[in-house]
Structure 1
């Protein structure tokens, strides 16, 4: 058996993981039981049967450690062979051509021990082709270079049999100041605060830690002898404190996640590395990009920045920190346009010929929130009297929003690229190559049929459920059907017949 200290080369013997691998397997298993353990410590009522569950968890940890000792891998000329399993043996052969992403994960503890986790991802399935926890950092880099050199996007071999590795080019680099701006713009702190509030509420500590702060702020305002104005000042100061705290938390999370972000290109592969304490590196072929999502919210415009995310044909989820979904977290509009134009295989960006939606599109955006405001005003008036009518002030706001949204919204199809733009304060562009669309769906609700409208939904591989879908809403029905037929003619899959929403 080849030892872990020997270099990784095709044709060698079987190899084990790093000698410290058992420690990281143990830590990973303990993480799975950290939350139940904390809940038992803070909210447990002393039931002895709950400890049996922890004992069962200890057995699972032991099984995981045994799985490590039975894990072997061998590098061959056409792929990687992995043997694993204690009682249920597994023998897998993973061809290099099947691997589309090699993700390296290095936490602070990994860096102390000089190791890294390696994950080999393919274009399909819900699990990675292989997870190696852990390899030495040198072996991890060697395996990454080997897969890159032998994979589907490997450079061609010359007449003399030598393969020249393409030069690496930096496409985007984010200094610390840009990462701080990303934290100020994003709302990452809101999610963390919501999770903290949920944990405190579960542990019955919300009243102890939060309520005194709120009471002191309101009492301070009342003590200023300004009647209700003092109460409002106290509430406003408390709100300001939470807003500032969430922004500072967002900046801290952005620094932890995106510090040192660098997007590089080597041949036909993209690679990104980032992270302050935990260093992450992921790469994928450019050809695996299926759809693009460009965002420019209100805070983005104030800072003169945009954000770019992509859907790829490899297994990643929106919450997976090791994915290459955030292709360009923050950049100026000029730099973002240049990056998209460079990476987009066909077409031209920014697109020029934008077409408007149905002339009654603003009504569809206005009707539902307006009706909801009227119902809310009626309910508040029923329970609280005439002050409840203040909810009707939302109606003109929704009207302005609908008009501005309809004026800006549109779609474009140029040189094999289909694009949609929407928004009023938070503007978004969603676009993809027509040849990468997997299916087309034409949808009409009863209200759409009344107004002569239809929605064209275009599905691509790897679309995130947390991002807006690639769709054109409120198209004239005839125009939607004509566009569906036009796009279907350039796709490998047939169009889906129109269906009516319930």
Structure 2
């Protein structure tokens, strides 16, 4: 079956400009409206509808037969087929089933008929709905990437879906479903067109002599892709996760600890009070099922994991039944979290999570699906992955070791004050913060050690806060804010004077890093763009992006947080 339909009616909206023929390879990227694969309605919700109808019929068949058939027909919990044959209503039953199938097929056909998409030189558009129409657009100059997902049922019939990731909340546009071959080709076309828009925008911003016009300071928020993923073959993964390690890590995960605690509590309760055997079993069995299902789901998600460099960024693939392939372009990673569960210390294993621009709404449960970019790996694996995710941040083995296994003498971290032992007796010696020219490193946790890396060019804000007890002890907390995600950068129980100095240092370093990145991106774009003559009545003025000078902090009282500088 082909995704193309030459009889697609003319679009209601004005036709967009067709992409340049040299930039596209698929005949579906011609600026015209095309329909999804004919099986799309079935995969998008048709199977769920069929299951619901089956459950309703199975549970309400007695009432349905009594309601629709005359009283002379008796139905005494017989098999439906025997009932039809014994009462001589086979023809009527066949007619009812046929009418139901025709109605169902008509609904699917209508949904497919009104679900169209087109790729123009400026945007990707998708229209759907019959009674309630939906029209979504993803401007190519705001595209962050294109994810390719192959659910288990879709893979059986050779289909896949694309998700065009936009720079904003709930900004993604989904193409569900296309044949796998068409999906891969269309994905490359969208990435190629988005990359072309980046160069075109650079040409518009160039003034005479090659001086860049004013550009945004928050380069990380709306960063678009810097390359096109044109690799013919799947790149080789830089990390190999043996099956034995996956199984053992699942058994040593946090869910296993909770499961053991629940079982121990149930056994202790039965020994002390045998009368509680029924409530204990009633609580233990659902808990065991829940933990078991979670462990199996995590295992299935991490099987076939791979991470490799590609021409467009870092390509991450995972999943046994549902395979997800996502490319993380440069500038899309806003925070990195490296942590080690307590039982993983035996194997020296770590997990890496990231905050990235996902384009999904906050209520979308799949937004955290790609939070783990390294489900389990050694410290050497962590170093290799960090070089891919944060190529501009030099993180060597010594710096990483100090963050994961510190504190160490002379590691450069500003640690918690000894006064913090009152409220943080376990981790006050380990808590620390280190500001480098490219990133902020936050080290926390004793039993579950964690190292958070916040690239300064992606940092949205930094907060200095105190609670009542912190003020009493002369302590403060520093929190770095990035885009939403599973990673949170916070260091507590710092001396309030040192925290204020670190807050000033982070502010200045973040402004400098954003300015340097913006200037570097502008210089790179200028080298590829042709100068555009400005109009005669305007004169571009380049803004000053140098970080403001910071005065030393004023004398502070040990009982209160230093005031913010203007």
- The number of equivalent residue pairs is 407
Matching residue of 1:275? 319
* Residues 165 and 281 of structure 1, relative CA distance in 2, 3 Å threshold: closer
Cα distance in 1, alignment partners of residues 372 and 509 from structure 2:
29
* Residues 169 and 149 of structure 1, relative CA distance in 2, 3 Å threshold: farther
Matching residue of 2:179? 136
Residues 49-448 of structure 1 aligned to structure 2 (within 5 Å)? 66-87=110-131, 89-128=133-172, 130-152=173-195, 165=230, 168-187=235-254, 249=293, 251-316=295-360, 319-320=365-366, 323-344=369-390, 345-350=392-397, 351=399, 352-365=411-424, 402=425, 404-448=426-470
Q: SS where residue 481 of structure 1 aligns?
A: helix
Q: SS where residue 327 of structure 2 aligns?
A: strand
Matching residue of 2:34? 15
Q: SS where residue 372 of structure 2 aligns?
A: coil
Higher relative contact order structure (alpha carbons within 8 Å, sequence separation ≥ 6): 2
Task: Return the match for 1:460 from 474, 477, 482.
Answer: 482
* Residues 348 and 470 of structure 1, relative CA distance in 2, 3 Å threshold: same
Contiguous gaps of at least 5 residues in structure 1: 47-58, 158-162, 198-209, 222-227, 366-401
Cα drift, residue 191 of structure 1: 9.5
Residues 359-381 of structure 1, C-alpha deviations (whole Å, 9 max, x = no match): 2122122xxxxxxxxxxxxxxxx
Residues 391-428 of structure 1, C-alpha deviations (whole Å, 9 max, x = no match): xxxxxxxxxxx2x4122221111232111111121111
* Residues 109 and 9 of structure 1, relative CA distance in 2, 3 Å threshold: closer
- Is residue 347–residue 414 contact of structure 1 (8 Å, CA) maintained in 2? no
Contiguous gaps of at least 5 residues in structure 2: 7-25, 64-102, 201-227, 400-410, 515-546, 549-560
Matching residue of 1:473? 492
Cα distance in 1, alignment partners of residues 114 and 280 from structure 2:
60
* Residues 283 and 458 of structure 1, relative CA distance in 2, 3 Å threshold: same
- Is residue 314–residue 388 contact of structure 2 (8 Å, CA) maintained in 1? no
Matching residue of 1:4? 4
Cα distance in 2, alignment partners of residues 277 and 166 from structure 1:
24
Task: Return the match for 2:46 from 27, 37, 46.
Answer: 27
> What's the TM-score, normalizing by structure 2?
0.61
Cα drift, residue 348 of structure 1: 2.2
- Is residue 102–residue 120 contact of structure 1 (8 Å, CA) maintained in 2? yes
Q: Which has the higher helix share?
A: 1
Cα distance in 2, alignment partners of residues 349 and 191 from structure 1:
35
Cα distance in 1, alignment partners of residues 176 and 341 from structure 2:
39
Cα distance in 2, alignment partners of residues 242 and 32 from structure 1:
25
Q: Once structures 1 and 2 are overlaid, which stretch shifts more, 478-487 or 313-322? A: 313-322
Matching residue of 1:201? none
- Is residue 116–residue 137 contact of structure 1 (8 Å, CA) maintained in 2? yes
Cα distance in 2, alignment partners of residues 476 and 16 from structure 1:
61
* Residues 490 and 154 of structure 1, relative CA distance in 2, 3 Å threshold: same
Cα drift, residue 470 of structure 1: 0.8
For the pair shown, the structure with the greater C-alpha radius of gyration is: 2
Cα distance in 1, alignment partners of residues 475 and 381 from structure 2:
37
Question: Considering only aligned residues, what root-mean-square deviation do their CA atoms show, in Å?
Answer: 4.7
- Is residue 28–residue 118 contact of structure 2 (8 Å, CA) maintained in 1? no
Matching residue of 1:485? 504
Residues 195-242 of structure 1, C-alpha deviations (whole Å, 9 max, x = no match): xx9xxxxxxxxxxxx9xxx89x95xx8xxxxxx7999xxx99999999
Q: Once structures 1 and 2 are overlaid, which stretch shifts more, 4-13 or 74-83? A: 4-13
- Is residue 12–residue 74 contact of structure 1 (8 Å, CA) maintained in 2? yes
